Structure 1
């Protein structure tokens, strides 16, 4: 297999970093493209490019087509991989350069199309997730799948933890992807009968619905919002609270309480809240404008047993 530096990665998230390092170690990485607005990713890639001699391209949305045209003119260019890249590849370029653009989708296709499959996979309590490498076509996330690798999804995984696992999975499968592409494997069409598309999460999507969600559903939502949203939203008496980390509890009350009711709040037992369908959660960590803190420290705001969190 060729060792010419003939691959460009377009990325917008730390999830691409292990793959960037692996492609460089394989002698295949030519350039990295990063959106101009992403200071954190630009900073990492700038240091990496300086240390390795890899070319760094700062991409502007208004100049996307022109800059991609320049990239496609790179001598001996074989592939352009997008990894969390936020903008669509212009259809004209896809037509002009068949078998050049491939996307690493950090979720299972076609069931998890959309902006944040990591969030949706955790929130929906899926048993597995994974990476789908597919050809880029006009329609988002609809190209032929070159390789699909699954990963067990543990109930304790946060969004950040799963991103890390998937980033290393992408790095691990790169040699297999390159082998398949070297063999001109065209991949498999996606099954549209099981396809689902999810838009970017809204405020409603990241807010706890006490009246409808049991403890396991709330735990999944909280994990799906940690750390990128600093937890899942709830509300008490004018105070906006984000629940960051929870655990299941066997605490039971002989009395009936409305979902969202505080059953216990003290230093010894922590913060225990009633959820839908007579389930309960221990709230271990919360976030407010005053900072991150243990759940029971909401006592300082005047919260007491019997009071109730509300849905935003």
Structure 2
């Protein structure tokens, strides 16, 4: 059995769950690499990554390179004398980095590869109405999410599950899978499976355009789109009423299947409920956020806001 000396690379909360599992299973972590601090918010105060916070709290050796090819960083990395690197939700590594450790570099990806390679696998699995997803560990190669698979674990996606809820389930499953992968590597029992070249479903990077709601779609498609972006970055739409327009984020919704003659996007509201017409019924909005305001239950919003009969979304 080979004693592992691990360098961990990651940035967001999802990566922290995996790092915590490695740490609590008493593996030797010789270094943690995360993104540089960056300005955020109105005050542009420096924001630190979730992985950095964890590393500092547990006195782990931390590196925050701006350039992964910089000679100074490569020398620091070599000096850690790691024999394995574990990557979770980080950036693409140059060959000089992923080839460095004797036992290789493996990545945990939150999908059943080869499906949903890319930046937002959790979101797109829900947006596309999948009923199952999972996690995969694989040895990194020169492309993105294409390396030889070590382990795959499957999990059910519940009909009303949000991206946030699935994120937490996959983080727990990912932690177990990474520990199992470490044991296989430690014992020299890894058997890999080459991924097929095909990539039928892609986890495109989320942006303003693909987060905007298209009210001309059927209710189920819109419902999946909204829950697939809940709580972050959130689906959005324009609310229009007379001469006013608001950029509104929509969070919790329900589907109402009902025949009507309304144009898709028409807002129907009273003092307690807010519904938006779609081709085969309505999307009832249960919580939402107006610009510059906090997220509210619709009932609370309607205590102070009312809409005319001309209100619509686009």
Could you say whether these structures have the same fold, taking a TM-score greater than 0.5 normalized by the shorter chain as the test?
Answer: yes
Which secondary structure state, in structure 1, belongs to the residue aligned with residue 175 of structure 2?
helix
Distance 1:138 1:185 in 2: 20
Aligned to 2:247: 240
Aligned to 1:58: 64
CA contact (8 A) 1:265 1:304 kept: no
Which secondary structure state, in structure 2, belongs to the residue aligned with residue 266 of structure 1?
coil
Aligned to 1:180: 184
Aligned to 2:36: 36
Would you say how many aligned residue pairs link Structure 1 and Structure 2?
A: 297
Distance apart, 1:256 and its partner CA: 0.8
The verdict on how the C-alpha distance between 1:307 and 1:93 changes in structure 2, with shifts beyond 3 A counting, is closer
The verdict on how the C-alpha distance between 1:65 and 1:248 changes in structure 2, with shifts beyond 3 A counting, is farther
CA contact (8 A) 1:246 1:283 kept: yes
Aligned to 1:49: 58
Aligned to 1:156: 160
Structure 2 segments unaligned to the other structure (5+ residues): 38-46
CA contact (8 A) 1:65 1:90 kept: no
Aligned to 2:290: 288
Deviations 1:169-197 (A, max 9, x none): 11112332123323252511111234443
Distance apart, 1:155 and its partner CA: 2.4
Distance apart, 1:71 and its partner CA: 2.2
Structure 1 segments unaligned to the other structure (5+ residues): none
Distance apart, 1:246 and its partner CA: 0.6
CA contact (8 A) 2:68 2:74 kept: no
Distance apart, 1:26 and its partner CA: 2.2
Aligned to 1:224: 228
The verdict on how the C-alpha distance between 1:169 and 1:292 changes in structure 2, with shifts beyond 3 A counting, is same
Distance apart, 1:168 and its partner CA: 0.9
More helix by share: 1
Distance 2:312 2:195 in 1: 46
Which secondary structure state, in structure 2, belongs to the residue aligned with residue 193 of structure 1?
coil
Question: RMSD of aligned C-alpha atoms?
Answer: 2.3
Q: Give the TM-score taking structure 2 as reference length.
A: 0.85
Deviates more, 1:118-127 or 1:168-177: 168-177
Distance 1:202 1:28 in 2: 37
Distance apart, 1:239 and its partner CA: 1.1
Q: How does 1:58-97 map to 2 (within 5 A)?
A: 58-61=64-67, 66-75=72-81, 77-85=82-90, 87-95=91-99, 97=101
Deviations 1:7-54 (A, max 9, x none): 11101111122222221222213122111125141552244323xxx3
Q: Give the TM-score taking structure 1 as reference length.
A: 0.86
Q: How does 1:88-237 map to 2 (within 5 A)?
A: 88-95=92-99, 97=101, 99-182=103-186, 183=188, 185-211=190-216, 213-229=217-233, 231-237=234-240
CA contact (8 A) 2:252 2:287 kept: yes
Distance 1:300 1:274 in 2: 22
Distance apart, 1:234 and its partner CA: 0.8
CA contact (8 A) 1:113 1:197 kept: yes
Aligned to 2:21: 22
Distance 2:261 2:110 in 1: 42
Distance apart, 1:61 and its partner CA: 3.0
Distance apart, 1:236 and its partner CA: 2.0
